[in-house]
Amino acid sequence: MNTSVAPNVAIVTGAGRGIGAAISEQLARDGWRVLGFDLTWPATNAPALQSRTQVDVADYDAVAQAVDGAEATHGPIGLVVNNAGITRDAAAHKMDPRSQWSAVLNVNLTGAFHLCRAALPHMRARKFGRIVNISSMNALRGQFGQANYAAAKAGMIAMTKSIAQENASLGITANCIAPGFIDTDMTRAMRPDILVAEAAKIPVGRKGTPDDIAAAVVFLSSAAASFITGQVLSVNGGQLMP
């Protein structure tokens, strides 16, 4: 990325831990000035971040205020990464419409729209921008007990393709990354036998790491990917080949 030409401020949601923290670190090494948005922050410092802001992505007014404040304080935003996400798993016939279905859709899909909506006017005015949305392998295949999560992540893909079409002529790209089975706190909390069974399904012979996803974000945000938009990059070790 040539920071003398393109805005070099990036916003990463869910930046406090796991994949979001890895994305922030790799973007910072690539020359981005990274601003982290998260609902809760760990006590440990995040040296890769220029700032840490407590934001509920499900609240549009809070997101818009945070984006406008970031522009005023840190400068033009060139990249947004929608990584924030939650799970509330249950079989569809047992899923609570509010605390499980709506809660996941509000964060994982509507929250991503909120950041895109708040950032796009700034990007369009400058005729430059990169949007990278973190979807999921389960958006492409479904998953038992995750009708809410899979629907939100699949909706994110359709939203991203629409945003890509609307903004391509203005130098703005929008793409998705669909991670597979990644070694995070969320997956480490699974039963050991399920962990072993899932890892056995991955042709490359290992679970993914947050750095694997972060490397894909760095690529899609770079000048090398300026002709790539409206795409879904699967990073899953070959576990799903759509």
Q: What is the mean pLDDT of each run of 10 residues along the chain (242 residues)?
A: 70 97 97 98 88 98 98 98 97 98 98 98 98 98 96 98 98 98 86 86 96 98 98 98 87
Q: What is the pLDDT of residue 192?
A: 87
Q: What is the pLDDT of residue 193?
A: 87
CA distance 15 to 24: 7
**Measured between alpha carbons, how far is residue 63 from residues 36, 56, 60, 121, 227 in Å?**
12, 7, 5, 14, 29
What does the mean pLDDT of the chain come to? 95
Q: Which long-range contacts (CB under 8 A, 24 or more apart) does 46-55 make?
A: 46/15, 46/16, 46/21, 48/21, 48/24, 49/15, 49/24, 50/9, 50/74, 52/15, 52/16, 55/13
Output the domain CATH number for residue 76.
3.40.50.720
Q: What is the pLDDT of residue 45?
A: 75
- Per the structure, the count of domains in the chain is 1
What is the pTM assigned to this prediction?
0.95
Q: What is the pLDDT of residue 5?
A: 62
Residues labelled catalytic: 149
Q: What is the pLDDT of residue 47?
A: 83
Angle at Cα 130 formed by Cα 128 and Cα 133, nearest 5°? 155
**Residue 197 covered by a domain:** no
**Residue 176 covered by a domain:** yes
**Measured between alpha carbons, how far is residue 82 from residues 27, 79, 149, 184, 223 in Å?**
14, 10, 15, 17, 19
Structural domain harbouring 155? 9-182+211-234
Buried/exposed 59-81: b ≥16 CB within 10 Å, e otherwise = bbebbbebbeebbeebebbbbbb
**Residue 203 covered by a domain:** no
CA distance 4 to 238: 38
**Residue 149 covered by a domain:** yes
Query: pLDDT per residue over 9-51, tens digit each?
Result: 999 999 999 999 999 999 999 999 999 999 999 988 778 999 9
**Residue 60 covered by a domain:** yes
**Residue 198 covered by a domain:** no
